[in-house]
Amino acid sequence: MLRDLFFYTIFMLSVLLVAYGHMDVRSQFLQTQYVKHRFLRTPIYEESDEK
């Protein structure tokens, strides 16, 4: 039982790291996009909800 708790904890930490990494990449992309638009007047990429 203690072994299962250990594996579950390791698994959940890895899931949190992946989720945080995805959010960090997304925010960095949006920040870069804003700076380029602000200073270079490039168009802003709009996400569409339709797939």
Question: Is residue 50 very low, low, confident or very high in pLDDT (cuts 50, 70, 90)?
Answer: low
d(CA 39, CA 32): 11
Q: Rounded to the nearest 5 degrees, what angle is found at the Cα of 47, between the Cα atoms of 43 and 50?
A: 140
Determine contact, residues 37/44, Cβ cutoff 8 Å: yes
pLDDT at 3: 96
Give pLDDT, residue 49. 55
pLDDT level of residue 47 (50, 70, 90 thresholds): low
- The phi, psi pair for 39, rounded to 5°, reads -100, -30
Return the domain boundaries, the chain.
1-37
- pLDDT, tens digit, for every residue of 4-45? 999 999 999 999 999 888 888 888 988 999 999 899 988 887
Residue 43 phi/psi, 5-degree rounding, is -70, 150
Rounded CA separation 47/10 (Å) = 34
